[in-house]
Structure 1
Amino acid sequence: MRTVLLGPQRFMTTAGTALRSLGVEGPVATINAGWEEREDVVDELDTVLGGDTRHLRLYHRSLDVIAKDAEFGSAALAFRDRHDALLAMYRLRLQNAMDGVYAVQRRTREGDGRARDDHPAHAALDDSIAVVRHVDNWYGTELKNLYAEIDAAAPIDGSGVIGWHRGELAELLGQSAAVVLTGGHVGTLLRTLRLFAIQLPDEVPVIAWSAGAMALTERVVLFHDHGPEGNTEAEVFDRGLGRVTGVVALPHARRRLRLDDRDRCAVMARRFTDQHCVLLDDGTALELTEDGSLPLGARILGIDGAVHELGAANGSKAVNDAPGGHQVMDGRGPGS
């Protein structure tokens, strides 16, 4: 199973190089539903990938389903409203839990700012982060139940129009030598992947970036420390395809994370301590190993709040992550 995770392609285009490195011969299926209305604007993407592409058009297919299947359309609207309500409650609980984490974290600091390893508040910090994980798990369970209720109200498998699209997509994927997943709106991408039951065979190479890279993981985490409303806490949004395991994908990390705030980064790494928080910045290209592990050199957040690089004798080494460390090419790539 060959899988390559790339950094964003807007400023530094590496998808073509990655595809050539895989030695792919034959048509390439593209999934760019995250681009939504711009899904058919693919000239630049075709050029980057070499031209032999088959665009699956999941977003436009989903619009076709809504237009032709009134029962599904009604269920989709109901799901959207109930999901919005669930997210609102999750964010309220999450913010309260994270406030507790930061309050406890501040108590672990001495007057000179150094962490006190023997401070009893360290146990309290671990426990407070466990509370955040409990909230994450609660949301995941409620979302799973919501999916089940909506599926029962309007079974997808019983829809003729969805079945037709699924059949055509399965045939297109079966004829493809590789699959490329682009960026865009990750929620739209996940919904269309689920609607059409997209399966990526292990033997088919996959290249993905930004939202596409997130969708390949087991658990999609949204994050943005520099949003229009200031800091927002990272939130577990939905489950992904699960092709990439043990990874929280963090595209645009330099632009979206306060990497100079080691306390904040440490909390994030400890919150997802069962997975690697992987930074996918401009120019990043990570081909997973045969067993699905990250390659040497992958940049991850450590529980000390620093950025580390896999591969040192102790498993990782700290690296300088001051802004501006990557060269950026002029021009725009085929979407972020």
Structure 2
Amino acid sequence: MTATVLLGPQRFRTTAGAAVRAVAPEGPIATVTAGWQDRESNTTELDAVLEGRAVHLNLYGRLSDVLATDERFAEAAAAHQEAIDELAGIYSIRLQRALDSVYAIQRRTVRRADLAASALADGVELVRTIDRWYLGLVEQIHGELVVAAPPERSEPLLRHRAEVAELVSAAGAVAIAGGHVGVLLRCLQVFVVELPAERPVVAWSAGAMALTDRVVLYNDRGPSGMVGSEVWDRGLGRAPRIVALPHARRRLRMDDPSVLQVLVRRFADASCLLLDDGARVDLGPDGSLPSDVRVIGRDGRVSGLAEAEQAEAG
């Protein structure tokens, strides 16, 4: 796999332009700004950063066109979204109760440390079981949409997919901006945006989240108080074995190692990667992380990846 670069939140003053130039010195850059939703076409700053090389895929606008011109797809998409929303509500209830139990075990003082450790491990495994249950049903509901509105029967959908594929194929690299990660990921899925291994990709904030194999939403500092991190959907898998955490300082309780310990144990098959403002992470050819990136270790503290792995092995 060629270059894959994950960036922290951007205001186009920091690292996006330099990263794109490094992986694709020339040629058009296919850009995805669907996460901006109604502001998708407001690309003046991005165009300047990419030095006039941007070719915007306009996925959000394309989706709006399909919904407006294909009644069958629009009805099926509305039913699909309703089913996803209902599932998400049930998942949130189950998840929060399971997480509350885990946090209560952490806070409880007991004489037998082995009993507490066993209960904590079992509690975390229950949380992971709920995550897997939810993702399984999300995939099932996605499949139901395909059956209800077969893509091959939608002229506007097929036309837009073909146009998007042609633009990506002709691009020297793909740049994926942030915004609303749910909308962004849905647009990428609907138009089957493929990222061949030989095509460099630069993605920031929610765009970086969409590249992982499992998108995780988090906001410990929301208006209604602490809400447990929730799995949203499968990502594109270009950045495997990573839970991407942009805006972590603003959304996670970074001063509470016990909460972070649960997060890391819950996603133990991945690295919880901090993508601070201005951060740049160049993945290895196999999708691996460099040793000096900032991650949340198993002890709930921030460290370099190499240090965290050494501490876990020890």
Q: Please indicate the TM-score interval, normalised by the length of the shorter structure.
A: over 0.9
CA contact (8 A) 2:36 2:178 kept: yes
- State the partner residue of 1:248: 243
Q: 1:213 to 1:316 in 2, by over 3 A?
A: farther
CA contact (8 A) 2:281 2:289 kept: yes
SS in 1 for 2:303: strand
- State the partner residue of 2:146: 151
**1:130-141 aligned within 5 A:** 130-141=125-136
Q: CA deviation at 1:301?
A: 0.9
Which of 227, 233, 238 does residue 228 from structure 2 map onto? 233
CA contact (8 A) 1:310 1:316 kept: no
1:276 aligns with 2:271: yes
2:196 partner amino acid? P
SS in 2 for 1:237: strand
- State the partner residue of 1:261: 256
CA contact (8 A) 1:289 1:295 kept: yes
For 1:149-184, what per-residue CA distance to the aligned partner results, in whole angstroms no more than 9, with x for missing partners? 121111123211100011111111111000000000
1:28 aligns with 2:23: no
1:71 aligns with 2:72: yes
Q: What RMSD, in angstroms, separates the aligned Cα atoms of the two structures?
A: 1.6
**In structure 2, distance between residues paired with 1:189 and 1:211:** 8
Following TM superposition, where does structure 1 have runs of at least 4 consecutive aligned residues deviating by more than 6 angstroms? none
Q: CA deviation at 1:316?
A: 6.6
Q: 1:155 to 1:231 in 2, by over 3 A?
A: same
Give the unaligned 5+ runs of structure 1: 111-115, 318-336
Which of 163, 171, 175 does residue 176 from structure 1 map onto? 171
Give the unaligned 5+ runs of structure 2: none
- State the partner residue of 2:298: 303
1:86 aligns with 2:101: no
**In structure 2, distance between residues paired with 1:213 and 1:219:** 11
**In structure 1, distance between residues paired with 2:17 and 2:277:** 14
Q: CA deviation at 1:11?
A: 7.7
1:70 partner amino acid? E
Task: Give aligned pairs, total.
Answer: 311
Which of 292, 295, 313 does residue 287 from structure 2 map onto? 292
Q: CA deviation at 1:108?
A: 5.4
For 1:261-320, what per-residue CA distance to the aligned partner results, in whole angstroms no more than 9, with x for missing partners? 000011100000110010101111000012210012111111111011123496479xxx
Structure 2 length-normalised TM: 0.95
**1:98-109 aligned within 5 A:** 98-107=99-108
Which has the larger helix fraction? 2
